[in-house]
Amino acid sequence: MAKKKPSIVKRFDDYFGAGILADWQRLCDDIGLSGDFSSKTKCRKALKKVNVNIHDLLSAIENGTPVHRFRNVRELAEYSIGERKVFPKKWVRDGPVKALLRCSDPQDDP
């Protein structure tokens, strides 16, 4: 029997959709990125440069508020661990979550 997806995984899947280019572009726009997002690859590269908490990203989108972007991976890691808002790595597949996911030891300097 397959394990039930944690709610954060389901929420992100429901938000993101099928993964067509328009879904990637919407995500970049929702995060507040600007630039040429004419391909999934360009979107993925842009997403790898931002530090956002996925839980907070979804809440901001649902509430129509700006998405908080952290200055660096260390700040994001400390916040995510401290607030217990960590996306479960076992549910990460190639796609937008993988582009957004940051793995860092909070001891690391930016």
16-56 pLDDT, tens digit per residue, is 999 999 999 999 999 999 999 999 999 999 999 999 999 99
pLDDT bin (cut points 50, 70, 90) of residue 109 is very low
Sign of torsion over alpha carbons 99, 104, 106, 109: negative
Domain count, the chain: 1
- Per the structure, the complete domain to which residue 34 belongs is given by 7-12+20-100
Residue 105 lies in a domain: no
Instruction: Note whether 110 and 71 are within 8 A (CB).
Output: yes
The candidate with the shortest Cα–Cα distance to 80, out of 56, 110, 44, is: 56
Residue 106 lies in a domain: no
Residue 91 lies in a domain: yes
The candidate with the shortest Cα–Cα distance to 58, out of 84, 95, 97, 88, is: 97
Residue 44 lies in a domain: yes
Matching residue, tokens 């661990």? 81
